[in-house]
Structure 1
Amino acid sequence: MSTTPSDDLWIRRFRPSPDAADRLVCFPHAGGSASFYVPVATALSPGVDVLAIQYPGRQDRRSEPGPTSIAELADGVTAALAGWDDRPLTFFGHSMGALVAFETARRMERAGSGPVRLFASGRRAPSRTRDEHVHTLDDDGVVAELRALAGTDAQVLQDEELLRMVLPAIRGDYRAVETYRCEPGARVRCPVTVLTGDADPRTTVEEARAWSGHTDAGCDLRVFSGGHFFLSERPAEVLAVLTEHFAASCATTGRA
């Protein structure tokens, strides 16, 4: 029976699959938590061991300060993933999570490891910036943004006490992503698959396609019907893309 390392702070395994051939590391969006990926872990188990990243400042980490930068998050995740690369890793990040996954991949590659593929979902390319300042708005302004994107649990938005509790972490997430600037020429060595919604108000198809300039190994683009959280609207279609990837990975390496 295989053994795995432990990092209870950053990593959640909702459906542990220690004998799986591949691992998928999932990075949440701004204001999101590891539990967003429970359906993914359920759908892919036991063939894929799904690790969901838990950022500080939310749920069971709510007593910790929220993030201040994408670099800080990437440093924390990189350290947490040490020892988990005994089998092929695939990264999947949505929105802010795509940037954290990208920067984590760069750090791991510099150390001699890294993912076999990066799925960048719902986020324009790292070099494509917009003048956004959600993190400077008052609480009502931040809540209005969350409602507009429709990615936050409706129960949270309706529970005033819970909402006020999580707003500092959400604001920190927005600060991290809105102040992020990638290094000129920043690239990963692994291939990138970009997923985007055709009606996403935060990412145009052209901005999503620009991820091709951030990889040395090829980039493909999948456009789905929907807005910023198309993956919640089209879960079966997104899972089909992941299943296709893992099936190809097994076929390439000759694994069952």
Structure 2
Amino acid sequence: MTTTTSDLWLRRFHPAPDAAVKLVCLPHAGGSATSFLRLSRELSPTIEVLAVQYPGRQDRIREPLIGSVAELAGLLLDVVVERDSRPTALLGHSMGALVAFELGLRMQSHGVRPVALFPSGRRAPILHRGPHRDEVQYHLAGDAELLARVARLGGTAAHLLADEYIRRAVLPAIRNDFRAAETYRGGDAVLDSPIFAMTGRTDPEVTLDEVRSWELHSRDAFDMRVFDGSHFFIFDSTTAVAAYASSALGSLATTDAA
């Protein structure tokens, strides 16, 4: 079987070629496509989840890491639009929200506007104009400090980080992705798509006002939903997140049909 570019980048855990909408999901810093396995199961077969696998991890471990949000978005443009012409929504968590936004802008400039953007667990790009709230630049920190940061956020199980072999395997991707997120400089660009922002009720990374600022990036509708949980609420409250995404996309289809 011939491997295509999209096969390298996109994982279809529950293929649903008859789904009316495809939802491209972009992982957090250090994350992989498998983090969206449960969301894919929840949404299939009504919505087909295409989970992005960044280079430099899991089955792409030998490929060079991409240390820029803008470069990642640029590489993904052809991948996302080449496969089929179905309406495409974008969902990104944490760093992935920034990649999703930049990808949406590129899609829009190429005449394939995403039907919706779901940014999760991240402040709006307009607020990314420099180091935030005197925050530590963790991509410049030592290994122990960076790994402690990841453990506090809960993105990687503590028992996995305790394994030296696993630490050596995942640390380069984690540091690379933190660099991409921490050096990202946003602007005031606007999408013609509706934005449905999501956040965890006890997320220490973002305030409600910072998440609400995503409204400034849409010429269309805006909604914000607060879920139970902390920074990684999206994986702890998957059923509720899936219901929200399904309802939002269903309401768009109803509006378009009217």
Deviation at 1:83, TM superposition (A): 2.0
What is the rounded CA distance, in whole Å, between the counterparts of 2:209 and 2:45 in structure 1?
36
Asked if the contact 2:35/2:235 (under 8 Å) is kept, the reply is no
- For the pair 1:141 / 2:145, whether they are aligned, the reply is yes
Q: SS at the partner of 1:181?
A: coil
Residue 230 of structure 1 is matched in structure 2 by 233
Asked if the contact 1:192/1:215 (under 8 Å) is kept, the reply is yes
Distance 1:219 1:132, change over 3 A: farther
Asked if the contact 1:85/1:113 (under 8 Å) is kept, the reply is no
Greater shift, 149-158 or 73-82, is seen at 149-158
Deviation at 1:6, TM superposition (A): 6.1
**CA distances 1:100-158 after superposition (whole Å, capped 9, x unpaired):** 00000000100100210000100001121314401011111111011100012445323
Asked if the contact 1:65/1:169 (under 8 Å) is kept, the reply is no
Once the two structures are superposed, the pairs formed by residues 78-89 of structure 1 within 5 Å of their partners are: 78-89=77-88
Residue 223 of structure 2 is matched in structure 1 by 220
User: Counterpart amino acid of 2:114?
Assistant: P
Deviation at 1:162, TM superposition (A): 1.4
Residue 254 of structure 2 is matched in structure 1 by 251
Greater shift, 197-206 or 154-163, is seen at 154-163
- For the pair 1:170 / 2:174, whether they are aligned, the reply is yes
Q: SS at the partner of 1:115?
A: coil
Asked if the contact 1:27/1:94 (under 8 Å) is kept, the reply is yes
**CA distances 1:156-194 after superposition (whole Å, capped 9, x unpaired):** 3232101111111110000000000013x2111101011
Superposition RMSD in Å = 1.7
Greater shift, 102-111 or 84-93, is seen at 84-93
Residue 36 of structure 2 is matched in structure 1 by 37
User: Counterpart amino acid of 1:172?
Assistant: N
Q: SS at the partner of 1:190?
A: coil
Q: SS at the partner of 1:9?
A: helix
Using structure 1 for the length normalisation, give the TM-score: 0.92
In structure 2, runs of 5+ residues without a counterpart are none
Number of aligned residues: 250
Q: 1:197 aligns with which of 200, 212, 217?
A: 200
Distance 1:155 1:48, change over 3 A: farther
Q: SS at the partner of 2:179?
A: helix
Identity of aligned residues (%): 46
Deviation at 1:87, TM superposition (A): 1.0
User: Counterpart amino acid of 2:72?
Assistant: L
Distance 1:135 1:118, change over 3 A: same
In structure 1, runs of 5+ residues without a counterpart are none
User: Counterpart amino acid of 1:72?
Assistant: E
User: Counterpart amino acid of 2:146?
Assistant: V
